[in-house]
Amino acid sequence: MLVELQNISKTFGRVRANQDISLKFEGGHIYAILGENGAGKSTLMKIMSGYQSADRGQIVVDGQALDLKAPTDAIAHGIGMLYQDPLDFPPFTILENFIAGRPGGIFPDRAAARQQLAAITERFGFGLDPNRYVDTLTIGERQQLEIVRLLSLNVRVLVLDEPTTGISAEQKTILFNVLKALARDDRMAIILVSHKLEDVIELCDLAYVLRRGRFVGEKTVPCPISELVALMFGKVVERQNRPNVMCGDSVLTVEAVRIAAQRLTVENVSLRVCSSEVIGLAGLDGSGQGEFIRACAGLFPPQSGTIKLNGRSMTRASYHDFSQAGVAFLPAGRMEEGLIKGMTLTEHFALTQRSPRPWINWFEARQITAERIKNFNVKGRPGSPIQTLSGGNQQRFALSLLRQNLKVLLLEHPTRGLDVESANTIWEQLLKRREQGTAIIFISAELDEIVSYSDRILVFFGGRATMVDDPAEMTADRLGELIGGRE
Amino acid sequence: MFSGLESTLRGIIRSAAPIVIAGQGELITERAGVINLALDGTIMLSAMTAHVVARETGSLPQAILAAMLVGAAVVFVVVVSSIGLRLNQVAVGFVLTVLCADLAIFLGKPHFNRPGTEIPTMPIPLLEDIPFFGPVLFRHNLLIYFSLILTLLVWFYIYRTRPGLTLRSIGEQPEAAFVRGTPVNPLRYAYALLGGALVGLAGATYSLSVKLGWKEDLSGEGWIALAIVIFGLWVPSRVALGAYLIVGLRSIAIDLQDSDVIDLPAQIVNMLPWFLMILTLLFATSGALEKVVRFTPDRFKPAVRRFLRAAPPRALGTTFEKH
C-alpha cells in the first residue's frame, strides 16, 4: 500500500498550518513526522485521517485520489489515526467502546464483538478486560484499546499522534514492539508523530521533518541526532555583532531548584542572572524549560532549592509577590493565558492600572492606550477587540502593557507564529528594555533566535540543564547534541 | 373502595406519572448533550394546550398530540439557537421557560377553572383482580401505564441497543462519536425533539389525568423534574426512583397534615428535592462513592460500583463543530 500526500496546504485564520507539503508512506515501514509544537504535524495527520479537510492538495492511495469527508471515509480506505487525547468514552466499558461506531443492526452482537476483541488483544498481549470501565484505565491502556479497535476495522496505515506522552516506560516498550510487528509482519505503514528524538531514533526507519508548517527535509534513521535537530530548529546563523551591555548587579539567583511537574521532574537547576543580561532557554518541548520559567515567575513553587530576587528570598512567594517585585511573565498562549478575548485594547490597559478610585477614567485610559499603540508600533485602535489584531500586534501590545523598569522579564516563545518583520520589532523592544537594565529570560524553539540574542544559553534535556557561557563559540552540532541529550 | 395504603400508593403512581415522563424525556435530551431548561414553562403550556384542545375538539388523541407538538416546538427553539446560532443553551432555556409560563397563563385565561376532560380509566382484565397490586398498578388510564413502562423502555434503549450507545456517545464525547462516523448534530436535534415531545406529554398528563383542567398552580413541577434528572444522575432507573420518592414524600406530608399527627409545613417537603439534589451531587463528585465501594465485600464490588457510578454527560450544554 502506498499513500501519498500531494501539495497539502491548510490555513486557520492567519496561521498557515501546512504549506504545500508532499510526503509518501509505504507499507512495511515506520515513519516519523518530526517537528516542534506548532510545526503543523497534527494538522497534516488530521487531514490525512479525514478529521479536517485540506484547503489545497490531495491524498492519493495506490494511485487513486481520495475525497475524505469524515474520519470514517479514511478508515474505509485503510487509514486510521490515534489522536493525541484518546477519543473514547470514559464512562463506557471497554466492550461498549469497541462496539461504538462499528457497523451492525439495532442490537449489537456482544458475543461476537467480545471474541473479536479477545483475538486481537491476545495476539499483542494486551490485558484488556472487556467489562472494565475506560475511566479506570491508564492512558497507555486506552491507546491499546484504540489500536485494537482500528485494527479490527482493517486499517492498513496507522497514524499515532504523540503516543508516548503520558505512558509508562513498560507501556512504551509494549507499544513499540506492537508497532514493529505490525510493520514487519502485517506490512502496515506506521506513522509516528512526535517531537521526541529518542523515540524516533528507537522506532522509525525514515523521519520527515516539518518546521513552521513546511516540509524541511527527510533523514534515514538511524542518523546523528544533531542532524535531526538541525532540521527541526533551523540553521544557526552568524551571530550579529551587537554592543555588549555591561552586566550589572545580580538580580535573580536560582539555586539548585527541583520542580516536580506532572510528567517530568526538573532537577538541580541553578542560574544567576544579572541586570541587562539575556538568557536563552533551549531544548525540545517539555524538557523542563517551561516549568523552570514558571518557577521563576512564582507560578510553580519548587520542591527544594531557593529563588532570590535582589538578594530577597522568593522561594515560596506567589505570582503576585513576584510581579510586585518587578518580574513579568508572557506565556506562549497569548490568547489563552495572556490576553482576554473580547476585550478592547483600552480595557486591557485599564485592567493593568492600579488606582485607589473605584471608577475608571475612560478618557485618560483611551489617550494613554493610543499613545502606547503609537510608541510600540501596534496596528490597531484603542477600541479594537484584542482578537482582531494579528499575532505580532497582539504580542507588541502585550509587551506595551508591562510596566517600565522591570527587574526580570520572562518570555515563552516570544516570536512563535510571527513573521520575520514582526519578530524583529519585538526584539527591538526587548533590547530597549534590556538597555534600561531589565534582565530577559526567554524560551525559543528557533536556534538562530537563541544564538543571536542570548548572552548565555541554558540548554534543557529531560529536566536537567547545561549552561553555555559563550554562544558565539557554539557550533550548531554542539548545540544539537546538547538539545538531543548527547553530552 | 381502597384501603389506606392501597389508595396512597395508587395516588403516588398517578401523581408521579408526569414527573416520570418529563424526567425521562429530559434525560434523553441531556444524554444527547442538550440542556432543555424550559421544562417548567413547557409543562404549563402543553398542559393548557391539551386541556383546551380536548375541550374544543372533544378528541383526546388530538389533545395529546398537540401537547407533544408544543413540547417539541419549545425544545426546537433551544436546539436551533444553540446548535444553529451558537447561543447559550442555559440562557435560551431560561428565557423560554418564563415566556412559556406567561404565554400559558395568558392564552389559558378563558379556559381557567373550567371542568377538564379526563382520560378514561382502563383497568387491565385479570390483572386488576390481583389483591393489592391490582388496584395499585392495574386500574389506571393509558398515560399512567405509559409512565410505568417508559422507564424500562428508556433503560433498554440506551443500555441495550446500538442507537442507544450512539445516543450516549454524542452527549459524552462528540468528537469521538464523529470520528466513529456518527452525524452528531442531526442526532442531537432528533433526540432533543423526542425528549421535548415527552415533556409535552407530561403536560398533557397533568391536565387530562392528574390535576384535571387548567390551573396555574402547575408552576414548579418542571423544575422538580429537572432536579430529579440530576438527582438520578442521568440514569433512567434512578430518575424514576427519585420521582416516586419525591411524590411519595409529598403525599405522606399531606396525609400527615390532614391527620393532625404532626404539623409539617408543605413548604418543607417541597424543599426536599433540592436538598437531595445537592447531596447527590456532592456524593457523586466528592469521592465518597469510592469509599462506599471500598467497604463493600469484594464479591459485590462490581455490582455496587455499577449501581453507584454515574456522571453528568461530559459534553452537556456544549456545541459540537467539525473543524
What is residue A341's three-state secondary structure?
Answer: coil
C-alpha cell at A212: 513552521
- Within 8 A by CB and 6+ apart from A171, the residues are A138, A140, A141, A143
C-alpha cell at A329: 511573565
- Distance (Å) from the C-alpha of residue A342 to the closest C-alpha of chain B? 16
Contact B39, B199 (CB under 8 A): yes
How do residues B54-86 score in pLDDT, each as one tens digit? Answer: 999 999 999 999 999 999 999 999 999 999 898
CATH topology of domain A2-223: Rossmann fold (3.40.50)
Mean pLDDT for A41-63 is: 93
Kindly report which listed range (A153-157, A336-340, A478-482) carries the lowest average pLDDT score.
Answer: A478-482
- Distance (Å) from the C-alpha of residue B276 to the closest C-alpha of chain A? 23
Contact B314 A100 (CB under 8 A): no
Q: What is the pLDDT of residue B43?
A: 97
CATH code, domain with B253: 1.10.3470
- From the list B161, B176, B178, the residue facing A88 with the nearest CB is B176
Mean pLDDT for A175-200 is: 92
- From the list B163, B172, B302, the residue facing A89 with the nearest CB is B172
Contact A468, A280 (CB under 8 A): no
Mean pLDDT for A154-174 is: 88
Contact B168 A71 (CB under 8 A): no
Unique residue bearing C-alpha cell 434512578: B238
* Residue B164 touches partner A, C-beta closer than 8 Å: no
How do residues A374-432 score in pLDDT, each as one tens digit? Answer: 888 888 889 889 888 878 888 889 999 888 889 999 999 998 877 777 888 889 889 99
Q: What is the pLDDT of residue B300?
A: 73
- Distance (Å) from the C-alpha of residue B255 to the closest C-alpha of chain A? 42
Contact B323 A101 (CB under 8 A): no
Instruction: Name the burial class of residue A114, with classes exposed (0-12), middle (13-18) and buried (19+) by CB atoms within 10 angstroms of its CB.
Output: middle
Q: What is the pLDDT of residue A415?
A: 86
Mean pLDDT over the full length of chain A: 88
Domain that holds residue B121: 4-308
Its sign, for the CA torsion A54, A59, A64, A66, is: negative
* Residue A100 touches partner B, C-beta closer than 8 Å: yes
Instruction: Report residue A98's pLDDT band, with 50, 70 and 90 as the boundaries.
Output: very high
Helix H segments across A83-138?
94-99, 110-124
How do residues A301-328 score in pLDDT, each as one tens digit? Answer: 899 999 999 889 998 889 999 988 999 9
Q: What is the pLDDT of residue A244?
A: 64
Chain B hits for A108, Cβ within 8 Å: 161-162, 165
pTM for this prediction: 0.79
Mean pLDDT for B132-140 is: 90
Taking CA atoms, what residue in A is nearest to B161? A107
Its sign, for the CA torsion A76, A78, A79, A85, is: positive
- From the list A88, A100, A131, the residue facing B165 with the nearest CB is A100
Please name which of B127, B157, B215 lies closest in space to residue B32, comparing C-alpha atoms: B157
A184 phi-psi bin (left φ>0, alpha ψ -120 to 50, beta other): alpha
Tell me how many helices (H) and strands (E) chain A has: 16, 20
> How distant, in Å, are the alpha carbons of A52, A387, B61 from that of A383?
34, 12, 59
d(CA A33, CA A47): 14
* Residue A83 touches partner B, C-beta closer than 8 Å: yes
How do residues B228-258 score in pLDDT, each as one tens digit? Answer: 998 888 999 989 998 998 888 888 777 777 7
Contact A70, A35 (CB under 8 A): no
Its sign, for the CA torsion B255, B259, B261, B263, is: positive
Mean pLDDT for B310-320 is: 85
Of A379 and B272, more confident? A379
Unique residue bearing C-alpha cell 488530521: A46
Contact A310, A288 (CB under 8 A): no
For an interface test with A, give the residue of B161, B170, B179 to mutate (most A CBs within 10 A).
Answer: B179
SS3 content of chain A, % helix, strand, coil (to 5): 35, 25, 40
Neighbouring C-beta atoms of residue B260, cutoff 10 Å = 7
Buried b (16+ CB within 10 A) or exposed e, A384-397: bebeebbbbbbbbb
d(CA B1, CA B136): 12
* Residues pairing with A344 in the sheet: A385
Does A3 score more than 90 pLDDT?
A: yes
Of A127 and B293, more confident? A127
What is the domain count for chain B?
1
- Distance (Å) from the C-alpha of residue A50 to the closest C-alpha of chain B? 9
Q: Which residues between 37 and 56 in chain A have a beta carbon less than 8 angstroms from any beta carbon of chain B?
A: 46, 51-52
d(CA B123, CA B129): 9
d(CA B134, CA B131): 6
Instruction: Report residue A442's pLDDT band, with 50, 70 and 90 as the boundaries.
Output: very high
Q: What is the pLDDT of residue B320?
A: 87
Kind and range of the H or E run holding A10: strand A2-12
Residue A202 identity: E
Contact A100 B180 (CB under 8 A): yes
First to last CA, chain A: 40
How do residues B91-131 score in pLDDT, each as one tens digit? Answer: 999 999 999 999 999 999 988 878 888 999 999 998 988 98
Chain A hits for B169, Cβ within 8 Å: 89, 92, 100-101
Strand A250-260: give its sheet, edge to edge.
A265-274, A250-260, A304-309, A312-313
Chain A hits for B163, Cβ within 8 Å: 106
- From the list B160, B166, B176, the residue facing A87 with the nearest CB is B176
C-alpha cell at B58: 372533544
- Within 8 A by CB and 6+ apart from A240, the residues are A452
First to last CA, chain B: 65
d(CA A144, CA A163): 10
Contact A101 B161 (CB under 8 A): no
Instruction: Report residue B303's pLDDT band, with 50, 70 and 90 as the boundaries.
Output: low
Question: Where exactly are the structural domains of chain A?
Answer: 2-223, 250-483
Contact A138, A165 (CB under 8 A): no
- Within 8 A by CB and 6+ apart from A383, the residues are A344, A345, A346, A366
d(CA A444, CA B139): 77
Mean pLDDT for A91-107 is: 91
Residue A351 identity: L
ipTM of the complex: 0.83
Q: What share of chain B in percent tops pLDDT 70?
A: 89
Q: Do domains A2-223 and A250-483 have the same CATH topology?
A: yes
Does B177 score more than 80 pLDDT?
A: yes
Taking CA atoms, what residue in A is nearest to B309? A91
Beta strands in chain B (DSSP E): none
Does B5 score more than 60 pLDDT?
A: yes
Kindly report which listed range (A197-206, B67-76, B211-220) carries the lowest average pLDDT score.
Answer: B211-220
Contact A188, A79 (CB under 8 A): no
C-alpha cell at A229: 535537530
Q: What is the pLDDT of residue B153?
A: 97
Does A240 score more than 70 pLDDT?
A: no
In a domain, B318, yes or no: no
Strand A56-61: give its sheet, edge to edge.
A15-26, A2-12, A56-61, A64-66
Please name which of A252, A287, A290, A248 lies closest in space to residue A270, comparing C-alpha atoms: A252
- Distance (Å) from the C-alpha of residue A421 to the closest C-alpha of chain B? 30
* Residue B166 touches partner A, C-beta closer than 8 Å: yes
* A260-A262-A265 Cα angle (round to 5): 35
Q: What is the pLDDT of residue B323?
A: 57
Chain B hits for A134, Cβ within 8 Å: none
* Residues pairing with A18 in the sheet: A10
Helix H segments across A100-196?
110-124, 139-152, 169-184
Mean pLDDT for A275-283 is: 91
- From the list A46, A72, A106, the residue facing B161 with the nearest CB is A106
Q: What is the pLDDT of residue A243?
A: 58
Residue B302 identity: P
Options 3.40.50.300, 1.10.287.610, 3.40.630.30, 3.40.228.10; CATH of A250-483: 3.40.50.300
* Residue B309 touches partner A, C-beta closer than 8 Å: yes
* A21-A25-A27 Cα angle (round to 5): 170
- Within 8 A by CB and 6+ apart from B270, the residues are B220, B250
* Residue B175 touches partner A, C-beta closer than 8 Å: yes
Kind and range of the H or E run holding B19: helix B4-31
Contact A234, A423 (CB under 8 A): no
d(CA B25, CA A122): 42
Contact B256, B264 (CB under 8 A): yes
Taking CA atoms, what residue in B is nearest to A82? B179
Contact B169 A100 (CB under 8 A): yes
Kindly report which listed range (A188-197, A415-424, B138-147) carries the lowest average pLDDT score.
Answer: A415-424
* Residue B179 touches partner A, C-beta closer than 8 Å: yes
Mean pLDDT over the full length of chain B: 88
* Residues pairing with A208 in the sheet: A33, A218
Does A73 score more than 70 pLDDT?
A: yes
* Residue B178 touches partner A, C-beta closer than 8 Å: yes
C-alpha cell at A109: 452482537
Contact A101 B181 (CB under 8 A): yes
> How distant, in Å, are the alpha carbons of A18, A26, A193, A215, B154 from that of A44?
7, 17, 10, 11, 42
- Distance (Å) from the C-alpha of residue A250 to the closest C-alpha of chain B? 48
B196 phi-psi bin (left φ>0, alpha ψ -120 to 50, beta other): alpha
- Distance (Å) from the C-alpha of residue A187 to the closest C-alpha of chain B? 25
Phi, psi of B314 (to 5 degrees): -65, -30
Count of all residues that appear for chain B in the document: 323
Contact B36, B26 (CB under 8 A): yes
In a domain, B278, yes or no: yes
Strands A214-220 and A250-260: unpaired
Mean pLDDT for B170-185 is: 93
d(CA A486, CA A480): 9
d(CA B73, CA A338): 43
Taking CA atoms, what residue in B is nearest to A73? B181
- Distance (Å) from the C-alpha of residue A89 to the closest C-alpha of chain B? 6
d(CA B237, CA B151): 6
Contact A106 B178 (CB under 8 A): no
What is residue A402's three-state secondary structure?
Answer: coil
What is residue A137's three-state secondary structure?
Answer: coil
Give the up-direction half-sphere exposure of residue B111: CA atoms within 13 A in the CB hemisphere.
Answer: 24
Q: What is the pLDDT of residue A296?
A: 93
Mean pLDDT for A211-216 is: 90
Neighbouring C-beta atoms of residue A467, cutoff 10 Å = 13
For an interface test with B, give the residue of A18, A48, A106 to mutate (most B CBs within 10 A).
Answer: A106
* Residue A72 touches partner B, C-beta closer than 8 Å: yes
Contact B323 A99 (CB under 8 A): no
Chain B hits for A92, Cβ within 8 Å: 165, 168-169, 172
- Distance (Å) from the C-alpha of residue A381 to the closest C-alpha of chain B? 28
Please name which of B66, B75, B70 lies closest in space to residue B28, comparing C-alpha atoms: B75
